[in-house]
Amino acid sequence: MQRPLIAGNWKMYKTATEARSFLQDFLQLYHEEYAVDVVMAPPFTALHALHNGLHTTSIALAAQNASSENEGALTGEISPLMIKDLGCTYVILGHSERRQHFGEGNALINKKVHLALSHQLRPILCVGELLTERETGQTNSVIEHQLLEGLHEMTAEQMKSVTIAYEPVWAIGTGKAATVDQATEVHAYIGTMIEKTWGVTRESIRILYGGSVNPENADSLFTSPQINGALVGKACLNPDSFAKIIASAHHSSV
């Protein structure tokens, strides 16, 4: 099994100046020797600031989104080439907020995943169900649909560069995380589906949990062998809480 991965999604928080201050505080708490891969995904405007501050560490940089095109008359869009030039090695795609607030569908997300991979960027593909879908027993079918369409025409070799983040929409930013049993069940389903569909072994792909992850529930979440890390939202904005989540992942893996 691969090392756990902890990715911090800052969403639309922190200016470049605030990002520098955050990083200064966080690096005093961060243990480079931990057996954890760490990724930070600040707003586009703070990518350059973080890249300059992270180049002496093993912490990777991610963009929160990317265009489905390399270039063009697309005002406001940012291409994979641009984020790669800023030092990104990961990109978050298909986040529930992009799906919900910006109308991104599986076909568009699939195009973004393929383009990101063509530029050696590692996609973190987000999937997850709404509360009504969980309550009506549709969780697995919703996730299967998102994966089959979002990863359409993906090869087994490409799949090894993709990280899946299970983020139940009803748990994002609500403070109501899925239970360990709930998350484990869905992660196991995703892993089995990937093995059957793309012929990729469960050990070669990481499936993260995202949805109100915090220092209080991280230890219990990481006890599950099906959970290979976390996509952290609100808790990653505080250096101390983000460092504690990383420590929990390390202790669960040694």
Which class for 224: exposed (0-12), middle (13-18), buried (19 or more C-beta within 10 A)?
A: middle
Residues in the chain: 254
Residue corresponding to tokens 């569909």: 197
Which are the catalytic amino acids? 95, 167
CA pair distance 218, 216, nearest whole angstrom: 6
State the Cα–Cα distance between residues 153 and 142, nearest whole angstrom. Answer: 19
Burial class (CB in 10 A: 0-12, 13-18, 19+), 78: middle
Residues 6+ apart with CB under 8 A from 141: none
